[in-house]
Structure formats: C-alpha cells, structure tokens
Amino acid sequence: MTTITLPDRLRIDTVAECWEALHAAIDHGQPVMLQAGAVQAIDAAGAQMLLFAEQTARAQGQPVAYESCSDTLEHALGALGLADLHARMQTPPTIHDPN
C-alpha cells in the first residue's frame, strides 16, 4: 500500500505535483491511501485531479481511499457535485494476501 499526503492547498498551483505523486503510486500497482486531513483549500482543479486519480486507479483495478479527510475537502467535493467520489473514497482498500 502506498500512502500519499495531500498538501493543505489542493489548488491549481499544486495539482501538477500532487498528480505526479498519485500517478506514480497508481502505476506502482498498490492500493493508494490518501492522507487528506490537512487540506484546507481546494478548487475545481484539485477536485478534478482527485476524480481523475480515482478513475485511473479504478480502471486498473486498484483502490484509492482516504486514510483521513478534512471537513473542507468533504464540503468542497459536495459543493462541486462530487459527493459520490467522496463516498467511494471512504471505503478502505482491501489488501489481498496471495499466500
């Protein structure tokens, strides 16, 4: 499992760096946990990046979920009509042990 800590500002000026980390984690083939408890500012670009990351991971059969999520992020996703994304990411990833 890979854990990614999101910055306190998930806005257009930080999404490229965040996407690089998320994309690398998704390409690694492990479930991704997001520590999003520190997010205090998010704009549409930040929400779009989260949506794209979740969809990319899901297309590859990998879960992405929150380890923590700030109220700011939860409210912003709801205001942007992405409450379903928030709900999907509340479910912790299942880790399959091949042994």
Q: Where are the domains of the chain?
A: 2-88
As a whole-number percent, the residues of the chain with pLDDT over 70 amount to 86
The pLDDT tens digits for 41-62 are 999 999 999 989 988 988 988 8
With 80 as the cut, is the pLDDT of residue 99 above it? no
Topology of the domain covering 2-88: Transcription Regulator spoIIAA (3.30.750)
The pLDDT tens digits for 64-89 are 888 888 889 888 888 888 877 767 66
Query: Residues 14-35: what's their mean pLDDT?
Result: 90
DSSP annotation of 80 reads T
Closest to 35 in 3D by CA, of 48, 17, 18, 51: 18
pTM value is 0.81
